[in-house]
Every structure is written in structure tokens, then in C-alpha cells.
Structure 1
Amino acid sequence: MKLVYFAWVRERIGVAEETVEVPHEARTVADLVNWLRGRDEGYEMAFENAAIVRAAIDHVHVKPEASLAGAREIAFFPPMTGG
């Protein structure tokens, strides 16, 4: 699965994107975030307050409980403001 990171999420992790083999236990975006947090310190810092990090599955904004089934790309980004 392709993972894409934006803004300070990318800066803390240290890569803009990567392809990973997501464990079968990771069935939702929240499960994926929990798995990522255990990968190393950069991921832990990026997702230390997971409630504020937004996600999109295949370019559609989703909530943490969204299923990963069939997903090709997951993007993570900080909250956005309008102006």
C-alpha cells in the first residue's frame, strides 16, 4: 500500500511517501496509525496526537474508523484551515 505524508507529518517521518506491507490486523485507518507509531520515533512524533492528523483513502477524506479494504493509497496530513 502506498502511504503519502504532507507538511509537518512528512517532516517528522522524514519521507514524502513509501510503499509498505500493512499487517492483516490493520483493518482501519486508526489501526494503521497505531501500527505506524510503533515503527520508529519519527512516526511516533508524527502521530503523537493522532486525533488531529487527517487521512484520505484514494483521495477521499475519511475518518479514523474507515476501512482499509481495497485501498491503494492512504495520505496523512495536518488539519487545514480556509481563508
Structure 2
Amino acid sequence: MSRSINIVYFSWVRERLGVDEEQFVLGDEVRTIADILNLLADRGAAHADILSDVSKLRFALDQDYGTPASVIGSAKELAIFPPVTGG
């Protein structure tokens, strides 16, 4: 059974991709954030470049922080963004 997820990009990730968000239909084999990242990296050079070092990125599933190992479950949204710096 397939399901869909909305992927939202913030800050320089959004700027480099040139899109705010993308909708994906996920197959049953896609279980973790890392699985989605692998699919995204296959979309083209810009995606692959941005995702080449995930230590420079942060993730949230339905607004709860996650890691590449986090299970997607029934999440409807994945946000991808750089670490937030304060001041």
C-alpha cells in the first residue's frame, strides 16, 4: 500500500533546490527518513549535492525532530532544514 508525504524545505536547502515543497508517494519499502533521503538524492544533482552530508541538515516528521534512522510511520510531513543558530 502506498502513502504520500509532503516534504518541506527551509533556508538554504529551499534556495538551492528552488522549491518550497514536494509531494511524494512512498512505497511500502520506504520506512525511515534515510529511505526518503535516498529517493530524493536520485532526483537530480541539486538534491544529491544537498543530501551528500546529512550531518549539515536537520529533520522533523510532523514537526517533531528526527534523525535519518527515524521511522516515518503515519507522518504526513517531513521538513528538511539546516541547523538553527541563535544569537
TM-score (norm 2): 0.87
Alpha-carbon shift at residue 22 of structure 1 (Å): 2.1
Structure 2 runs not aligned, ≥5 long: none
TM-score (norm 1): 0.91
Match of 2:43 among 32, 39, 42: 39
Q: Which residue of 2 aligns with 1:66?
A: 70
Aligned length: 83
Structure number having the greater strand percentage: 2
Instruction: Give the fraction of aligned pairs with identical amino acids, expressed as a percent.
Output: 40
Q: Deviations over 1:8-37 (max 9, x none)?
A: 111222200111112332211111111100
Structure 2 SS opposite 1:11: helix
Q: Deviations over 1:25-83 (max 9, x none)?
A: 22111111111001111111221211221000001111111101101000000111122
Task: Output the aligned Cα RMSD.
Answer: 1.1
Structure 1 runs not aligned, ≥5 long: none
Counterpart CA distance in 2 for 1:23 and 1:51 is 26
